[in-house]
Amino acid sequence: MHNRKTLHFAMRAGVYCLGLMFLALGVAVSVNSNLGVSPVNSLPYVISLIVNVPMGACVTAVFCTYILMQFLLLGRKFHPVNLLQIVFSTIFGYFVDFAKALIGSWALPGYPGQLAMLCASILLIALGILLYMEAHLVPMPMEGLTMTLAKRMNKPFPMVKTTVDCIVVGTGVVLSIAFLGRLEGIREGTIITAIVTGRIIGLMKPWIHPLTKKLGLSD
């Protein structure tokens, strides 16, 4: 029995790490496309420029805000284990560094090449999010907030994901124009990713969920 539980947890951890790796590769490809920062990084990036603080500190602050919002929405149903979202977000940073080192400065030439890389990054990000969520361990703070809202609103995760991404990007746009007088970091790639990723997750789930179910990772 103990060996079975250990194997089951190892499978969850493996799928979780695989999801984080796909997600990190998607972020790295997105960066090399030069079509704007990813939606999850758009708000911290703008805030870092406004307050002149390193982006890493702003990412941590924004992520902590997402966790605080989860606590306010869940109340007594908020589990302390959700605080590990910050720890796993830090670990994810190392995955991103590895992915960036892996692909280096690789980029396709011309604007069509940039768009092709954007499409590839969206597919990788969607697959990564879906895989690590199917493992049912600890979500990233933004996805944790999205899951909380989806449960409270009784709406599908992909639909709420699109809404949350668009709100975050929209907030970044407003702050950038209001405090910097110009748009920084947020480009067409950021907006397209925010609008499309949730829908791609919805399209992928009917294909991925049966596989994770066979592995005993989901109901």
Q: How far apart are CA 214 and CA 90, in angstroms?
A: 30
- Helix (H) / strand (E) element for 80: namely none
Closest residue by Cα to residue 164 from 149, 181, 182: 149
Supply the pTM of this predicted model. 0.89
Q: How far apart are CA 159 and CA 155, in angstroms?
A: 7
What's the per-residue H, E or C state across 27-66?
HHHHHHHCCCCCHHHHHHHHHHHHHCCCHHHHHHHHHHHH
DSSP states of 100-160 as a string?
Answer: HHHHTT---SHHHHHHHHHHHHHHHHHHHHHHHHHTTS---HHHHHHHHHHHHHT--HHHH
Note the pLDDT of residue 59.
Answer: 86
pLDDT tens, N- to C-terminus, the chain (219 residues) = 567 778 878 888 899 999 999 999 998 898 899 999 889 889 999 999 999 988 778 888 999 999 999 999 999 889 888 899 988 888 888 888 899 889 999 999 999 999 999 999 999 999 999 999 998 888 899 999 999 999 999 999 999 999 999 999 999 999 999 999 999 989 999 999 999 999 999 999 999 988 888 877 765
Note the pLDDT of residue 155.
Answer: 94
Phi-psi region of 155 (alpha: psi -120 to 50; beta: other; left: phi over 0): beta
Asked whether 51 and 58 are in contact (CB, 8 A), the reply is yes
Note the pLDDT of residue 218.
Answer: 63
Note the pLDDT of residue 219.
Answer: 58
Q: How far apart are CA 189 and CA 115, in angstroms?
A: 8
User: What's the token pair of residue 174?
Assistant: 């407003």
Asked whether 197 and 125 are in contact (CB, 8 A), the reply is yes
Note the pLDDT of residue 167.
Answer: 96
Residue ranges per structural domain of the chain: 2-214
